[in-house]
A and B are shown apart, each in its own frame.
Chain A
Amino acid sequence: MERTALRRRLTWQLAEVLAVTRETPRVRRIRLRPPDWPGHVAGQHVDVRLTAPDGYTAQRSYSIASPPSQPETELIVERLDDGEVSPYLTDELRPGDLLEVRGPIGGYFVWPEHADTPVQLVAGGSGVVPFVAMLAHHRTSGSDVDVRLLYSVRTDADVIARDELRPRPESAVVLTFTRDAPADWTGPRGRIDRELLVRHTAPPEQRPAILICGSTPFVEAVTRELVAIGHAAERIKTERYGGMGDTS
Chain B
Amino acid sequence: MSHVSRGFTGRRRDAPAGRLPPGQYDVGDGFPVLSAGPVPYTEPDEWDFTVQGQVDQVRRWSWQEFQQLPREPVTVDIHCVTSWSKFDTRWEGVAVETLLQDVETAGEYVLAFCDGGYTTNLPLDDVVDGKAWVVDTYDGSPLVPEHGGPARLLVPHLYFWKSAKWVRGLALNLVDEPGFWENFGYHNYGDPWKEQRYAGD
A57-B32 in contact given A6-B185, A246-B81 (Cβ < 8 Å): no
Chain B residues whose C-beta falls within 8 Å of the C-beta of A216 in the assembled complex = 32-33, 146
The answer to whether B4 touches A53, judged by C-beta atoms less than 8 angstroms apart, is yes
The answer to whether B34 touches A240, judged by C-beta atoms less than 8 angstroms apart, is yes
The answer to whether A88 touches B5, judged by C-beta atoms less than 8 angstroms apart, is yes
* In the complex, the 6 A-B pairs of residues with the closest C-beta atoms, listed nearest first: A9-B200, A248-B160, A246-B161, A243-B82, A107-B184, A50-B5
One digit per residue, 1 when the CB lies within 8 angstroms of any chain B CB and 0 when it does not, for chain A 225-241 equals 00100000110111010
Chain A residues whose C-beta falls within 8 Å of the C-beta of B80 in the assembled complex = 243, 246, 248
The answer to whether B1 touches A246, judged by C-beta atoms less than 8 angstroms apart, is no
> Is B7 interfacial (CB-CB < 8 Å)?
yes
A108-B32 in contact given A60-B83, A243-B80, A246-B161 (Cβ < 8 Å): no
Residues of chain B touching chain A, judged by Cβ–Cβ distance below 8 Å, are 1, 3-12, 23, 25, 32-40, 78, 80-84, 116-118, 146, 159-161, 163-165, 180-181, 184-186, 198-201
The answer to whether B38 touches A223, judged by C-beta atoms less than 8 angstroms apart, is yes
CB distance from B59 to the nearest CB of A (A): 25
The answer to whether B81 touches A245, judged by C-beta atoms less than 8 angstroms apart, is yes
> Is A59 interfacial (CB-CB < 8 Å)?
yes
21 intermolecular pairs with C-beta atoms under 8 Å apart:
A8-B200, A9-B199, A10-B198, A51-B4, A53-B9, A60-B83, A92-B8, A100-B3, A105-B198, A108-B180, A109-B36, A223-B37, A223-B39, A233-B116, A236-B37, A237-B37, A242-B34, A245-B34, A247-B34, A248-B32, A248-B163
12 extra interface residue pairs, beta carbon distance < 8 Å, beyond A52-B5, A59-B23, A234-B117: A6-B184, A9-B198, A56-B10, A58-B25, A84-B10, A238-B36, A240-B32, A243-B80, A246-B81, A246-B160, A247-B118, A248-B163
Residues of chain A touching chain B, judged by Cβ–Cβ distance below 8 Å, are 6-10, 14, 49-53, 55-61, 84, 88, 92, 97-100, 105-109, 216, 220, 223-224, 227, 233-234, 236-238, 240, 242-248
Q: How far is the CA of A244 from the CA of B117 in the complex (A)?
A: 19
Give the number of residue pairs across the A-B interface with Cβ within 8 Å.
Answer: 148
Chain A interface main SS type: mixed
Q: How far is the CA of A97 from the CA of B3 in the complex (A)?
A: 11
Chain A residues whose C-beta falls within 8 Å of the C-beta of B82 in the assembled complex = 60-61, 242-246, 248
A84-B25 in contact given A233-B116, A246-B181 (Cβ < 8 Å): yes
Chain B interface main SS type: loop
CB distance from A176 to the nearest CB of B (A): 21
Chain B residues whose C-beta falls within 8 Å of the C-beta of A9 in the assembled complex = 198-201
CB distance from B77 to the nearest CB of A (A): 13
Choose one: A49, A233, A248; the contact of B34 (CB below 8 Å): A248
Q: How far is the CA of A237 from the CA of B34 in the complex (A)?
A: 12
Choose one: B4, B36, B163; the contact of A237 (CB below 8 Å): B36
The answer to whether A227 touches B160, judged by C-beta atoms less than 8 angstroms apart, is no
Q: How far is the CA of A88 from the CA of B9 in the complex (A)?
A: 9
Q: How far is the CA of A98 from the CA of B40 in the complex (A)?
A: 43
